[in-house]
A and B are shown apart, each in its own frame.
Chain A
Amino acid sequence: MQLTAGIFKKKAVIIILLVIFTIFLALEAVGFYLASRGHTTISTRKVIGAKSLHELRAKNTILKKRISNLSPKGTYIVVDTAKNSLYLEKEGQILKEVVVSTGSGGILKDPAGNRQWVFDTPRGELTVQSKITSPVWTKPDWAFIEEGEDIPKSYKDRVEEGVLGDYALSLGNGYLIHGTLYTRLLGRNVTHGCIRVGDKDLKELYNTIPIGTKVIIF
C-alpha cells in the first residue's frame, strides 16, 4: 500500500515537473518569437540609406573629427570623484596626478524650513571662471546650520579667512578648487562639493592653469 502511494507521489511530482517544463518551453518559444520579430536592423538601414563604402568611410572620418573638435583644447583637468584623483591632461596624456577630496554625498536639512542640501561634487564639464589668491570663505547658510549655529544677518560674520588655502580656482555656482587644513583627509570624500587640493599641488595648478580651462568631473 505504502509502495503504491510512494510511486503515485513520485509520478505526481514528475507530472508537475513536466507540466512546469512544458509551460516554460511554451513561454520560451512565444517569448523568442516575440523578441525576434523584426530581427533585422531595418530601421538602421533606413536612416543611413544605400551609400557606397567610400561615402560611408568619408562620413565616419568627418564624424570622428567633429567629436574630437568638441574635446577640450590645450591643457585640461579631469577629476575622478570615485578615486578622489585630479589629473592634469593634454591631448589625452596625463601630465600630473594629484590626490584630492571631493563631495561627501551627505544630506543636510534645514530644521527651520524646507531647504535641503546634497553635498555632491557636480559631474560633467565645468570651466575655470576665475583665479583667486588668498581666498576667504563666505560661509553660506548651510555651514551655520550644519554647525548648529544661528545664521548671521551681517555679511562680516560670514567671512572666514585662512580655511581655503593660498589659492582657489572658481568653477562657478560656489564650487571651487581650493586648499585645505585637513590634509590627512585628502583621498576621501569629505567635502561639501568643492575639490580640496594639498598646498604644493594647488600652487602648481594655480600657476599652470589659465582662466577658461575645462574641468571634466566624473
Chain B
Amino acid sequence: MKAFLCFLLALFFAITISTEAMSKNAAGLEDKTLLLESELELAKKPHIYFIFNLKNGEIFLKSRGVMLKEMKIEDMKFWGRPLDTKPRTLLKKSSLFEPKREKIDPEKSKENETTDTSSFEVKALELKDMPTSYRLVFHESIFISIRPKATGIISKLYNTSRYVSWYLSRPILTVWNSIRSKPFTAIYLTVNEEDARYIYWSLTENSESIIYHP
C-alpha cells in the first residue's frame, strides 16, 4: 500500500512538472509565432525595420528579412504592462542635443569656388554627430530611453542622474496617463556608444519597429 501511494505521488509530480514544461514551451512558441507574424508584415514592405528583442537582449536592424546589423542590449529596465508583439510606429525621436542639418548657403558656395580648394571642409551630417542619449516615442505611449554604456566617472554620474529621473518619473507618468485613460510603458536600454548612434541614425520617424517583450 505504501509503495502504491509513493508511486501515485511520484506520478502526480511527474505529470505536474511535464505539464508545466509543456505549457511553458507552448507559450514560448506562441510568442515566437507572433514575433514571426509581425516580422512578416514588416518584411513585405520595402523599408528597413528594427526588432527590439528585449527578451534576449538584442536589437536587430533588418529589411526584407535580411539582417543588416545586430546590436547587444547591455542592460534593460522595463516598466508597464506587457506589450503585444506587433509593428509599432515611431512618432518622435527626442534628444537634448539634436543633430542639426547643414543649411547650404549658395552665396558661400560661390565664394568657396574662388578660394583655395585644398582647405575644403566637409559639412555633413555623419554618424559621429548623432546623440548617444535620447528618447524614442512610439505609438500607444511607449517610451524607450536609450543610454550609452558609461565609461568614465562623468558619464557614470550623468547616466545615474538620467536613470534616477527615469525611475522617479515613471510611476508619476503612469498615474498621469491612467487618469487620461492612456497606456504608459517606459523602457530603459543601455547599449554601447556606437550602437546608440546607429539606432538614432537608422531609425526614422514614422518607421515601424517591433518591441518584443513577452
Contact = CB atoms under 8 A, between A and B. Distances in A.
B104 A106 contact: yes
B104 A44 contact: no
A27 B176 CA distance: 10
Contacts of A216: 48, 63-64, 66, 68
9 contacts: A24-B168, A31-B175, A60-B36, A63-B33, A68-B65, A70-B64, A82-B197, A123-B202, A124-B46
Contact of B29 (A39, A47, A53, A214): A53
Contacts of B84: 41, 43-44
A107 B66 contact: no
A105 B102 contact: yes
Interface of B: 22, 25-27, 29-34, 36-37, 39-40, 43-44, 46-48, 61, 63-69, 79-82, 84-85, 101-104, 106-107, 109-110, 113, 122-127, 168, 170-172, 174-175, 178, 184, 197-198, 201-202, 204, 214
For A68, A107, A111, A124, which residue has the most chain B Cβ atoms within 10 angstroms? A124
Contacts of B171: 24, 27-28, 30-32, 35
Contacts of B40: 63, 66-67, 70
Nearest to A111: B106
Nearest to B38: A63
Contact of A148 (B68, B102, B106, B168): B106
Contact of A147 (B43, B82, B110): B110
Contact of A190 (B22, B47, B124, B214): B124
Contacts of A32: 171
Contact of B123 (A66, A106, A109, A124): A106
Contacts of B174: 30-31, 34-35
A82 B202 contact: yes
Contacts of A185: 122
Contacts of B68: 78, 80, 216, 218
Interface of A: 24, 27-28, 30-32, 34-41, 43-45, 47-48, 51, 53, 56-57, 59-60, 63-64, 66-68, 70-72, 76, 78, 80-83, 92, 104-109, 111, 118, 123-126, 145-148, 185, 188-190, 214, 216, 218
Contacts of B67: 92
A144 B113 CA distance: 13
Contacts of A47: 34
Question: What 7 A-B pairs have minimum CB-CB distances, sorted nearest first?
Answer: A31-B171, A105-B125, A63-B36, A104-B124, A125-B46, A31-B174, A148-B110
For A68, A72, A92, A106, which residue has the most chain B Cβ atoms within 10 angstroms? A106
Contact of B85 (A44, A64, A124): A44
Contact of B22 (A28, A53, A146): A53
A67 B127 contact: no
A189 B170 contact: no
B179 to A, nearest CB: 10
A39 B104 CA distance: 52
Contacts of A190: 122, 124
Contacts of A81: 201
A28 to B, nearest CB: 5
A109 B103 contact: yes
A45 B30 CA distance: 7
A120 to B, nearest CB: 9
B140 to A, nearest CB: 13
Nearest to A87: B68
Given A106-B101, A124-B63, A53 B25 contact: yes
A185 to B, nearest CB: 7
B165 to A, nearest CB: 13
